[in-house]
Amino acid sequence: MEAAASDQPPALATKKGYDVLRYPHLNKGLAFTLEERQQLNIHGLLPPCFLSQDIQVLRVIRNFERQASDLDRYVLLMSLQDRNEKLFYKVLTSDIERFMPIVYTPTVGLACQQYGITFRRPRGLFITPHDRGHVATLLKSWPETVVKAIVVTDGERILGLGDLGCYGMGIPVGKLALYTACGGVKPQECLPVMLDVGTDNEELLKDPLYIGLRHKRIRGQAYDDLLDEFMQAVTSRFGRNCLIQFEDFANANAFRLLDKYRDHYCTFNDDIQGTASVAVAGLLAALRITNNKLSDHTILFQGAGEAALGIASLIIMAMEKEGTPEEKAIQKIWMVDSKGLIVKGRAALTTEKERFAHQHAEMKNLEDVVNSIKPTVLIGVAAIAGAFTKKILKDMASFNKSPIIFALSNPTSKAECSAEDCYHLTEGRGIFASGSPFNPVTLPDGHTLFPGQGNNAYVFPGVALGVISCGLRHISEDIFLTTAEVIAHMVSQKNLEEGRLYPPLSSIQDVSVKVAVKIAEQAYRDKTATFYPEPKDKEAFIRSQVYTTDYESFLADCYTWPKEAMKIQTGTF
């Protein structure tokens, strides 16, 4: 990689030791030792007290508990990320089940809606159509010369909340926080990007606090030209191995951009492929309860957007792996969109939807569709709160011994049904998973069930770690089926008895490593890896790449002196 002077971060001479305390990659707060304070020229800039990282974590947690709302807790954690990166990730990983719902769904959805209020300090890059012809220059302004993973959005379809424009930047920031907390990808090698092409949200255009461009969305050729320039600039600046994850693009762009770029760049769309992988993982785990094959099931989707179509395509791959021909697998899948059941002969069907159009009378009401199709699996991905009514849940229980019901829409306010309703209305026989977390449910017989959360965080951090570790340049669909199989395999019998279709979130780092190892093994076997020599012990190699949240020593005679601190100390930054 070139090391031109223009590529380096701003110079930080030894006499500017104060800057160390303002640089989140290096700042340790009161954990700096006396010797470090003296060598980094920050002695006297801190109170004469020394606190270990564990005590600092305790202080953050106590402040966290004092906050009045989840939005306040989000602001507290994001502010910590801006000040002290190691401590931020130490806190997240200390109790990932507790903190993930704050930095990710469901709270991140509220944070995006309120981004004008919660905005404190810019993170990542903001690229607009006005930057056409100069995107490569913008990327050079980013202080890190090594970036291995980018999450990019245009903010048009944030979760189930719609067009939030530039406020959608909270999603790439949150996703990349989980790249590190759940997958161990180094945070300084991650870059969140907002492609701000405007917004069609009238409320935002009138919002005095809105931080984005105040005009309608730019579409057509101008939009495509910006995307093309961005993709080319990324690979030119950071190499063809740089992973680019597309996030929360509207359906019309999500599929075509994936098709356009997937064979030319190291890229995937989390809403299509990540959601598919985690949903199929849940289905594979559920098969251990129903004791049959995936191809024995009839699957009905409420929704026919990128999530539904992505899940359906991966289900077909899984059924084919069982030995079911593709055409027969397709016949097992039905979809309902905003106009009703997708059937042959219905007007204005897209190519993607046409694939799942079967011979059947047109029907608009989901209750009627469920009663007619009698599915064994019901999957909600249309962000229509309460779509799985009491009648639907009772009907599913009436013609299934163990109905599989996935309410996957995010955030929680958009879930198709609650875990409590599902379990109670199916007499405890429902096999439930959701996109956002639900509290445990105790049945009348005293048995407590813990709803499985089909969180994409089981997928994208491990996929990213695996792709980065072996230098993949293209991400095939096989990777997402492999990932689903790994996740399902890690669900224990005890987990299933508790109602969990996914491993406990507390084990998510281990899940990510196992996913990454499988991806690396497959890549070296298929000769698609580009990093050689091939590691003999791939798990040991991948674990050695994982980010550590422990503070490093900054003493000049210590072998663990970080290169950033060395540059500050010597004045060569």
Buried b (16+ CB within 10 A) or exposed e, 375-413: bbbbbbbbbbbebbbeebbebbbeebeebbbbbbbbbbe
In angstroms, rounded to a whole number, what is the distance separating the alpha carbons of residues 341 and 63?
A: 50
Instruction: Choose among 77, 165, 178: nearest CA to 118.
Output: 77
- Kindly name the residue from 23, 74, 104, 423 that is annotated as catalytic: 104
Amino acid letter for position 402: S
Q: What is the 3-state secondary structure (H, E, C) of 155-220?
A: CCCCCCCCCCHHHHHHHHHHHHHHHHHHHCCCHHHEEEEEECCCCCCHHHHHCCCCCCCCCCCCCH
Identify the H or E element spanning 442: strand 441-442
Contact 116, 167 (CB under 8 A): yes
- Kindly name the residue from 28, 86, 148, 175 that is annotated as catalytic: 175
DSSP state of 403: -
Identify the H or E element spanning 434: strand 431-434
In angstroms, rounded to a whole number, what is the distance separating the alpha carbons of residues 468 and 490?
A: 23
Q: Token pair for residue 429?
A: 């026989």
- Evaluated on CA atoms 340, 343, 347, 352, the torsion sign reads positive
* Burial (0-12, 13-18, 19+ Cβ within 10 Å), 209: exposed
Contact 56, 31 (CB under 8 A): yes
Which residues are 153's β-sheet partners? 194
Asked if 175 is an active-site residue, the reply is yes
Phi, psi of 519 (to 5 degrees): -65, -45
Q: Token pair for residue 133?
A: 């012809």
In angstroms, rounded to a whole number, what is the distance separating the alpha carbons of residues 140 and 156?
A: 26
Q: Which whole-number Å values give the CA distances from 35 to 331, 360, 494, in the listed order?
A: 69, 77, 50
Contact 398, 414 (CB under 8 A): no
In angstroms, rounded to a whole number, what is the distance separating the alpha carbons of residues 86 and 193?
A: 22
Phi, psi of 184 (to 5 degrees): 75, 15
Contact 268, 277 (CB under 8 A): no
SS3 345: coil
Contact 426, 397 (CB under 8 A): yes
Contact 415, 388 (CB under 8 A): no
Mind telling me the catalytic residues? 104, 175
